[in-house]
């Protein structure tokens, strides 16, 4: 099924792994080999079995059938301790560091060097310093973890793993919370680990990243291995490679998945004049017409989310004016924004966008609940509303009274959108609307956005996926470090020109250089 690279022995191999959760068959006869010193990409839609497979390797879950082999010997992992003892370390999306301890404390947490029963802080700091220097991680061992950026914290996790002699490092969506420059640092760190012979399993939704970082790529679908490809087996432009991988993930050929744009209107729906937030956003002026989709690109930390939150009254502005349909308006709270027909779909679906403990129905009617009171909330009217959204958006769900957690990421996102469509907004601000959403559901959300714009809604589309911005928007705005750098008509915008404004020309050159030289 796959060609092992020359002369590289297999580190870990799974043979016919099976795992079910209740009626869900999460893994079905999965046989895979991971060789020493390779970066092995693992891709698939949500629910394809990636996490289950990795959790088995990390000793967190026991398989129902099949076996794991470590250096050709059968290996039974009864718990995460067993995996750690074999040098298998998994770095989760939610990092496991103690905020109130220093970098050195965290690296040696639970196995502190002692002298006479007392922690030898001197030795601990020195060892940490060496480990950090070894991996070119420019961090001070005495810094408190709470003062580090997410990227730096992730680096501490990796250094910690390496200090435990990790031979297999599993990273799950490592760049999800990183800025561009932090991601570049991570890539070069991965390259260094690889050069030392560490095997890395790289799980990610972001296909260009997988293509840049991984030597081999395994595609999972419905708990089964679809194929394992050498990177060199993929041909054509980056876009063609992505499309090929995406097709393997969903099990059907992927077209150009952006629906055709409709014409934007002429009337201005919303105009921002000199919006400022101290230290975050500096004098941003923009206007969006009815029926127009304005893409807002930029790196993480460019101030796009902060700008959006300031517009809908979630953050206190230090200056600026907002005009809706030409009239100046006052927006101090989200309630003001809702009254004026402004809706903001948060990028943080689980933490801010939805109420995870509550039912699908309660989430959908949360903002528009007043409409369902006569004077008591009418469950029948609520269910009717849920049914109509379900039909209109193709939400795949069980009972409306089921908790929102029971839905997949894509369907949760549809519910989050439905909640805002309930107020029939004039202006819809979409912050990373397809984050953590399967490719199939992505297409549906794209179609929906275009349809809403065609109905006259003005959309501000904030996205870190340049493809998405270029594929959907009428115009593209780019922010960098809190400033609006450019607004371009989409026919004049390219991936390169957007990156140029988002990162600055030097950063782009550097990034290309790092990725190509490091890998």
Partner 1 sequence: MPSTSTANSTRTPLTNLPSWTGALVALLLLMAVTVAIEYARSGTTAFISPENLINILRQWSFVGIIAIGMTFVIITGGIDLSVGSLLAFVGGLGILTLNALLANDVSEWLAVVVAGVVIIGSGTLAGLLNGLLIAKGRLAPFIATLGGLAAYRALAQTLADGGEFRSQSFNLFPLLGSGGIPVPFTNVAPNAPLPVPLTIPWPVVIFLIMAAAASIVLNRTRFGRYALATGSNERAAVYSAINVDRIKLATYSLVGACTGVAALLLASRMNSISSGQTGGLTELDAIAAVVIGGTRMSGGSGSIGGTVLGVLILGVAGNMLNMLGVNPYLQGLVKGLIIIAAVLVQRRKIS
439 binds partner 1 (CB under 8 A): no
> By rule CB under 8 A, what string of x and - marks binding of each residue 411-430 to partner 1?
--------x-----------
Among 314, 323, 454, 519, binds partner 1 (CB under 8 A): 314
Query: In this complex, which beta carbon is closest to partner 1, that of residue 85 or of residue 358?
Result: 358
216-221 and 199-203 as β-strands: parallel, antiparallel, unpaired? unpaired
Among residues 393, 448, 438, the alpha carbon closest in space to that of 461 is found at: 448
Is residue 332 a contact point for partner 1 (CB under 8 A)? no
**Which residue number, 50 or 419, has a Cβ lying nearer to partner 1?**
419
Q: Candidates 72, 235, 357, 506: give the one binding partner 1 (CB under 8 A).
A: 357
Listed residue (314, 297, 39) closest to 189, CA to CA: 39
DSSP-derived 3-state class of residue 143 = coil
89: tokens are 């370390």
CA-based end-to-end distance of the chain: 25
Q: At its nearest, how many Å lie between partner 1 and the CB of residue 404? A: 10
Q: Of 132 and 364, which has the nearer Cβ to partner 1?
A: 364
Nearer to partner 1, 242 or 306 (CB): 306
CB closer to partner 1 out of 309 and 444: 309
The answer to whether residue 335 forms part of the interface with partner 1 (CB under 8 A) is yes
Outline where 218-317 has alpha helix (H): 238-250, 304-311
In the complex, the smallest distance separating the C-beta of residue 284 from partner 1, rounded to whole angstroms, is 21
The first and second tokens of residue 198, run together, are: 């560490």
Q: What does the alpha-carbon distance between residue 201 and residue 168 come to, in Å, rounded to a whole number?
A: 8
Closest separation between CB of residue 75 and partner 1, Å?
16
The answer to the question of residue 454 lying near partner 1 (CB under 8 A) is no
Tell me the window of 1-9, 142-150, 294-302, 330-338 that interacts with partner 1 (CB under 8 A): 330-338
Select from 205, 224, 104 the least CA-distant residue to 160. Answer: 104
Site residues for partner 1, window 154-193 (CB under 8 A)? none
Question: Cβ of residue 342: shortest distance to partner 1, in angstroms?
Answer: 10
Q: How far is the CB of 64 from partner 1 (least distance, A)?
A: 6
Task: Examine residue 62 and tell whether it contacts partner 1 (CB under 8 A).
Answer: yes
Q: Which is nearer to partner 1, 376 or 491 (CB)?
A: 376
- Binding part of the chain for partner 1, among 20-28, 116-124, 147-155, 194-202 by CB under 8 A, reads 20-28
What CA–CA distance (Å, rounded) separates 251 from 42?
Answer: 16
Please give the structure tokens belonging to residue 177. 């919370």
* Helix (H/G/I), strand (E/B), else coil: 136: coil
Token pair, residue 392, equals 């209109």
What does residue 396 show for φ and ψ, rounded to 5 degrees?
Answer: -95, 110
| DSSP labels, 66-115 | EEEEETTEEE---SHHHHHHTTEEEE-SS----TTSBHHHHHTTTS--EE
384 binds partner 1 (CB under 8 A): no
Q: Which of 58, 68, 57, 65 is nearest to 25 (CA)?
A: 65
Under the binding rule (CB under 8 A), the answer on residue 369 touching partner 1 is: yes
Q: Of all helices (H) and strands (E), which one includes residue 517?
A: helix 505-518
CA distance 57 to 88: 8
**Contact (CB, 8 A) for 360 and 415:** yes
Q: What tokens were used for 196?
A: 């030392």
Q: Can residue 346 be called a binding residue for partner 1 (CB under 8 A)?
A: yes
According to the binding rule CB under 8 A, does residue 362 interact with partner 1? yes
CB of 215 to partner 1, least distance (A): 32
Binding segment for partner 1 (CB under 8 A), chosen from 233-241, 361-369, 485-493, 499-507, is 361-369
Work out which of 352, 383, 435, 483 binds partner 1, going by CB under 8 A: 352
Q: Which of 5, 9, 16, 21 binds partner 1 (CB under 8 A)?
A: 21
Specify burial of residue 494 (Cβ count, 10 A radius: 0-12, 13-18, 19+): middle
Q: By CB under 8 A, name the binding residues for partner 1.
A: 20-22, 61-64, 314, 333-335, 337-338, 344, 346, 351-358, 362, 366-367, 369-370, 373, 375-377, 419
């Amino acid at each position: 099924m796959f060609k092992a690279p020359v002369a590289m022995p297999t580190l870990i191999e799974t043979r016919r792994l099976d795992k079910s959760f209740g009626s869900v068959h999460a893994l079905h006869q999965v046989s895979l080999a991971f060789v020493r010193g390779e970066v092995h990409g693992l891709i698939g839609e949500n629910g394809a079995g990636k996490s289950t497979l990795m959790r088995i390797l990390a000793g967190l879950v026991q398989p129902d059938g099949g076996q794991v082999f470590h250096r050709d010997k059968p290996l039974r992992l009864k718990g995460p301790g067993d995996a750690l003892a074999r040098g298998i370390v998994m770095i989760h999306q939610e990092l496991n560091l103690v905020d109130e301890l220093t970098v050195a404390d965290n690296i040696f947490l639970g196995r502190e060097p002692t002298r006479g029963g007392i922690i030898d802080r001197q030795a601990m700091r020195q060892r940490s310093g060496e480990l950090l220097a070894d991996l070119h991680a420019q961090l001070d061992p005495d810094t408190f973890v709470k003062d580090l950026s997410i990227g730096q914290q992730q680096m501490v996790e990796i250094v910690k793993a390496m200090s435990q002699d990790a031979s297999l490092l599993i990273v799950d969506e490592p760049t999800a919370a990183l800025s561009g420059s932090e991601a570049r640092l991570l890539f070069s760190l991965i390259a260094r680990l690889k050069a030392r012979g560490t095997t890395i399993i790289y799980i990610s939704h972001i296909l260009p990243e997988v293509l840049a970082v991984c030597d081999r790529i395994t595609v999972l679908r419905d708990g089964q291995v679809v194929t394992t490809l050498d990177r060199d087996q993929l041909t054509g432009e980056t876009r063609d490679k992505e499309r090929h991988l995406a097709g393997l993930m969903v099990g059907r050929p992927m077209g150009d998945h952006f629906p055709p744009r409709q014409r934007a209107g002429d009337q201005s729906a919303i105009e921002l004049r000199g919006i400022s937030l101290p230290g975050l956003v500096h004098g941003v002026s923009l206007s969006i017409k009815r029926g127009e989709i304005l893409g807002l690109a930029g790196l993480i930390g460019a101030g796009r989310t902060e700008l959006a939150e300031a517009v809908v009254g979630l953050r206190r502005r230090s200056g600026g004016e907002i005009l809706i349909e030409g009239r100046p308006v006052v927006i101090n709270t989200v309630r003001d924004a809702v009254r004026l027909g402004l809706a903001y779909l948060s990028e943080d679906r689980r933490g801010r966008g939805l109420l995870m403990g509550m039912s699908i129905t309660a989430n959908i009617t949360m903002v528009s609940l007043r409409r369902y009171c006569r004077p008591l909330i009418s469950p029948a009217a609520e269910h009717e509303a849920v049914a109509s959204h379900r039909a209109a958006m193709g939400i795949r769900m069980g009972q409306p009274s089921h908790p929102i957690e029971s839905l997949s990421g894509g369907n949760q996102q549809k519910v989050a959108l439905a909640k805002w469509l309930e107020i029939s907004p004039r202006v819809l601000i979409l912050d990373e609307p397809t984050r953590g959403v399967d490719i199939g559901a992505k297409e549906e959300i794209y179609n929906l956005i275009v349809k809403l714009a065609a109905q006259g809604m003005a959309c501000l589309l904030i996205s870190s996926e340049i493809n998405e911005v270029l594929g959907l928007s009428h115009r593209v705005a780019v922010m960098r470090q809190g400033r609006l750098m450019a607004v371009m008509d989409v026919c004049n915008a390219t991936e390169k020109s957007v990156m140029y404004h988002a990162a600055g020309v030097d950063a782009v050159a550097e990034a290309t250089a790092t990725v190509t030289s490091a890998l």
